Amino acid sequence: MVNTDILSFGWVIFAVMVGVFLFAAFYKRQPIGISLLFGAIAGSIVSQNGLPVRHLVEGIFTYFDPILIIFTAMLFMKVIDANGALKSLAGLIVQKFSKRPILFVLIITLFIMFPAMLTGITTTSVLTTGALMAPVMIALGIPVINTAAMVALVSLMGMVAPPINLLVMLIGQGVDMPYIGFEGPLAAMAFPLAIITSFALSYKYIKNADYDKALKFISKGSSAVPSFKLFLPLIVVFVLMISVRLFNRVMPDIGAPLIFVIGAIIGIFTGSKISIHKVAYRSLITGLPVIGLLAGIGAFLQIMTLTGVRGLLVVTVLSLPVVLTYIGLLISLPVFGGVSAFASAMVFGIPFLLSLLGNNEIVICSGIAMLAALGDVLPPSAIEARFGAQIVGEKSFMKVVIKCLPFTALFALVGLAVIYFSNALSFLTP
């Protein structure tokens, strides 16, 4: 028989951890990663484990692999941004597809998604390709709020899309599930939804737009000439990413971090002259909030495991009726994702995945990642809606959030449907 006093004490520890985290994050305005670390320490003290330095350090280094991916991917994106490759590619898109609005929408959708697809972080798309295309889209007649919402939502789908989905990696790492076979279900969700969103928000405005005016925004201040050499880093990274998956029997998987480093090194010599020290510094500064967040999540989860809170959450979720499980998925993941999509995936994603074992785990994990990712455009943080408003000069980020809400609801329903019909969607997996 389960001791109810022990269960109650477990919930007290969890409440203290979450309470300290929220207090530090939203009252004291501390970074989310640091706030999670404070919550972990508080939980350890309340559970009478003192200050377990070893567990905190182990937790901080739990997600060292994703941290390496983030930094090297950010370095690669900053290199091809600084050497002119991204700006030249944007100009080429406007120039070649200006008379074909349907193709134009498709191409700019993929272009905005691209950095998030490589890094697993929505912000990289919003602040690179999104920021680059935003003035072009506004010049084409797309309203400011629509532009901000499109950049935020399409970038969000880039985070969900393959080849790199950090949310899936984090959940998989928590249940010892390798990151293999996710390309199908992730692509089946991300690309159609991104395209639907782009057409809904932009197509009617750009059918008869002035593309010459838009092209001036791109060409202004750009000295790099489009060429095979300029785009070589992108080609190499793409080929290596595909090769290690398609030819894994003959080609060793050298790992995403090394692939990005190779691309960055090539990029130094293929475009405009850049300062690698400045680019590396900007890469670290841009990626540091997410790197700190992953370190904080690792420590938080380690203490949850040490104190038994993690097991308590798993047991509670496992005991829920099926209907409440799906309601919990639909509510808890996006709502907690409004604080941190990564924390939501780790704290709630793992128990829900375990509760649905026996179905297609790869498809279910993909759907859970979709639901957790929605927090990036939802309050209280709504981080991508804030950045989307910032790059178009809109003062009220809540206007962007409101514009995003119908699409967010659609994304949530798709994610839930993918989870519910996971077995029927098994054909998407190897």
Phi, psi (deg, nearest 5) at residue 359: -100, -175
In the block, tokens 């782009």 appear at: 198
pLDDT at 373: 95
pLDDT at 348: 86
Tell me the average pLDDT across 89-98. Answer: 82
Cα 102 to its chain centre, rounded Å, is 27
CA distance 416 to 402: 21
Q: Are 76 and 189 in contact (CB under 8 A)?
A: no
Tell me the average pLDDT across 243-257. Answer: 79
| Tokens of residue 78, six digits | 């900053």
User: At residue 424, does pLDDT exceed 90?
Assistant: yes
Tell me the average pLDDT across 385-409. Answer: 91
pLDDT at 7: 59
User: At residue 233, does pLDDT exceed 50?
Assistant: yes
Mean of pLDDT over the chain? 88
Tell me the average pLDDT across 255-264. Answer: 90
> What does the CA dihedral 196, 387, 348, 18 come to, rounded to 10 degrees?
-160
Tell which residue, 225, 265, 416, has the closest CA to residue 326: 416
Confidence class of residue 124 from pLDDT cuts 50, 70 and 90? confident
Three-state secondary structure call for residue 357: strand
More confident residue, 112 or 358: 112
pLDDT at 6: 54
pLDDT at 2: 45
Tell me the average pLDDT across 407-416. Answer: 97
Tell me the average pLDDT across 386-391. Answer: 86
| Tokens of residue 193, six digits | 């939804």
> Using one digit for the tens of pLDDT, what is the confidence trace for 323-357?
899 999 999 899 888 877 887 888 889 889 988 88
Tell me the average pLDDT across 260-279. Answer: 92
Confidence class of residue 224 from pLDDT cuts 50, 70 and 90? low
CA distance 415 to 418: 5
pLDDT at 266: 96
Range picked from 51-65, 75-89, 153-167 for highest mean pLDDT: 153-167
Is residue 175 classed exposed, middle or buried when 0-12, 13-18 and 19+ CB atoms within 10 A define those classes?
middle
User: At residue 3, does pLDDT exceed 60?
Assistant: no
pLDDT at 235: 92
Write down the domain spans for the chain: 4-428
User: At residue 176, does pLDDT exceed 60?
Assistant: yes
Gap between the terminal Cα atoms of the chain: 42
pLDDT at 218: 64
Tell me the average pLDDT across 394-401. Answer: 90
